[in-house]
C-alpha cells in the first residue's frame, strides 16, 4: 500500500480521501483542515504543513477550489514543493485553468517529481460512491502509477493527453453541464407555464432522445426544490470563467456559455452562490415570473 498525502478535504475531497484510507493506504492530511478530524480518528496521520505532508507521502493529491489555491498549496512557504524529492508524484484533482497547470507541472518536474492534472466530474454523490469520472493529463508513466488510486475514487478514467489536457477536458465538461441544466430548466418551466405537469413531462422525456443525466438528477432537484449543494453555483461560476477566459485567449466565441454565466451571475447576485447548480432554474423563474413548484 502507498503513502498518500491528501490536501483539500471539502465536500468532495473528504470522501475521496476516505476511500483511499479504507483501501488500506497510509494517509497524511493537514491538521488545519476542517475535514481532517474524522479521517485522523479513522487512522490518517495529521501534519502541520503541506511540506510535511509531501515529505512523508509518495503521492500528494490536491482537491482545492481554484488556480490561486493550487499555486499557494504547491509553492508558498511551507508548501508541497518544499517537501518533494526525486520520484514523487503530485496529482491535482482540482478544477483550474489549463495554462497555469502546465506551468505548475514544469516546476514540479524540475524538482524530480512527476505531475498529473486529474479533475473530476460527478459531484458529491460521485465522490461518496467512488464513481467519479476522472480526466487525466500528464505522462504515460505517471498515469500508470496513479491509475490504481484513481480506480479507488472513480470509474470512468481517461488519460486524455499531456499536462493540461485533463483541465481542458474538465472545462469542456462544465460547458456541457451548464448548458444542459439551463435547457432542462427552460423546458420544465415552459411545460409548467403552459399548464402541463412538469413532473409528468420530465417522466415522458426520460424515455426519449432528450433523456440525460441532467434531466434525471437535476430535473428532479428542480421539481422537488432540493438545492442543497452537490456542486455549488460559486464553483460552476468559476469554471465558466475559465471557459470564457480560455475562449478569449483562443479567439473563440462561446455565446451559450456566456448566457449561462449570466444566469450564474444572477444567482450570485441574489445570494444563491452556495446552492447547487441546479438552482440555475431559479434565475429562469425570475425572468419568467413563474415558479415550477
Residues 6+ apart with CB under 8 A from 21: 27, 39, 42, 43, 44
Q: Is 269:253 a contact under the CB 8 Å cutoff?
A: no
Rama region for 190: left / alpha / beta (φ>0; ψ in -120 to 50; rest): alpha
Rounded to whole angstroms, the Cα distance separating 91 from 74 reads 11
Task: State residue 226 phi and psi, 5-degree precision.
Answer: -100, 90
Cell numbers that stand for 208 in this block: 426519449
238 flagged as catalytic: no
CA distance from start to end of the chain: 50
In the set 14, 170, 238, 282, the catalytic residue is 170
Which residues belong to the active site? 170
Amino acid at each position: 500500500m502507498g503513502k498518500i498525502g491528501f490536501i483539500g478535504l471539502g465536500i468532495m475531497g473528504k470522501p475521496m480521501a476516505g476511500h483511499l484510507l479504507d483501501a488500506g493506504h497510509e494517509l497524511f492530511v493537514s491538521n488545519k483542515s476542517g475535514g481532517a478530524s474524522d479521517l485522523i480518528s479513522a487512522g490518517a496521520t495529521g501534519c502541520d504543513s503541506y511540506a510535511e505532508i509531501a515529505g512523508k507521502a509518495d503521492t500528494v493529491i490536491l482537491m482545492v477550489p481554484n488556480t490561486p489555491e493550487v499555486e499557494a498549496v504547491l509553492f508558498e512557504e511551507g508548501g508541497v514543493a518544499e517537501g518533494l524529492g526525486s520520484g514523487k508524484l503530485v496529482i491535482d484533482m482540482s478544477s483550474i485553468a489549463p495554462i497555469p497547470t502546465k506551468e505548475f507541472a514544469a516546476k514540479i518536474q524540475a524538482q524530480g517529481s512527476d505531475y498529473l492534472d486529474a479533475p473530476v466530474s460527478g459531484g458529491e454523490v460521485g465522490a461518496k460512491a467512488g464513481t467519479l469520472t476522472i480526466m487525466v493529463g500528464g505522462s504515460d508513466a505517471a498515469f500508470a502509477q496513479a491509475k490504481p488510486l484513481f480506480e479507488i475514487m472513480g470509474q470512468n478514467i481517461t488519460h486524455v493527453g499531456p499536462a493540461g489536457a485533463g483541465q481542458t477536458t474538465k472545462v469542456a465538461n462544465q460547458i456541457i453541464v451548464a448548458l444542459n441544466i439551463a435547457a432542462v430548466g427552460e423546458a420544465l418551466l415552459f411545460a409548467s407555464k403552459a399548464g402541463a405537469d412538469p413532473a409528468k413531462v420530465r417522466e415522458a422525456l426520460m424515455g426519449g432522445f432528450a433523456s440525460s443525466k441532467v434531466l434525471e438528477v437535476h430535473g428532479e432537484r428542480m421539481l422537488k426544490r432540493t438545492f442543497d449543494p452537490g456542486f455549488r453555483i460559486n464553483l460552476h461560476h468559476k469554471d465558466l470563467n475559465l471557459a470564457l477566459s480560455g475562449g478569449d485567449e483562443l479567439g473563440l466565441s462561446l455565446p451559450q456559455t456566456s448566457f449561462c454565466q449570466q444566469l450564474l451571475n444572477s444567482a450570485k447576485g441574489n445570494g444563491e452562490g452556495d446552492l447547487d447548480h441546479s438552482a440555475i432554474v431559479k434565475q429562469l423563474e425570475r425572468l419568467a415570473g413563474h415558479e415550477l413548484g
